Amino acid sequence: MDKIREYRNLEAPETIEPKEMETIKDQTGNIYQSLNIIAKRANQIGVELKNELHDKLQEFASATDTLEEVLENREQIEISKYYEKLPHPTILSTEEFLQEKIYFRDKAGDAELDA
C-alpha cells in the first residue's frame, strides 16, 4: 500500500523538464500512443496516491473533533505537506515510461496499459 516510497525511489525530477519527442516515440512508434499510455498511467498514479493519502489522513481523524481540532491537526498537516512535495503524477508516469517500467499491449492499433 505504501506507493509513496516507490515513487520517491523513481528519481523523477520535481519540475517539468523538456524531453525529446523521439525518445518518447521510440517505444510505440507513435507519439500519440506513447502520450496516451503516459496519460493513463498518470491517472492511475493520481488515484493511487489520492487513496493512500485519504487512508493515512483517516488514521488521525477522530469522531469527536471540534472545528478547532480539525483545523489544527498537526499530523494531518504534515502528511499532506509530504504528499504535496511529490512530483506530479504526469512527471512520474513519464519517467516510468522512459525507463520502460510500464507494461502495455497493442490491441488493434490502440495501446492499452496494464501497470
Q: Tens of pLDDT along 31-75?
A: 999 999 999 999 999 999 999 888 888 887 666 656 555 556 777
Q: For the packed helices 89-98 and 31-60, what is the interaxial angle rounded to 10 degrees?
A: 130
What letter represents residue 71's amino acid? L
What pLDDT does residue 17 have? Answer: 81
The range of the structural domain enclosing residue 52 comes to: 3-10+18-113
| Beta carbons of 40 and 102 less than 8 angstroms apart | no
pLDDT value at residue 1? 44
Total domains present in the chain: 1
Residue 88 reports pLDDT greater than 50: yes
Higher pLDDT pick, 38 / 16: 38
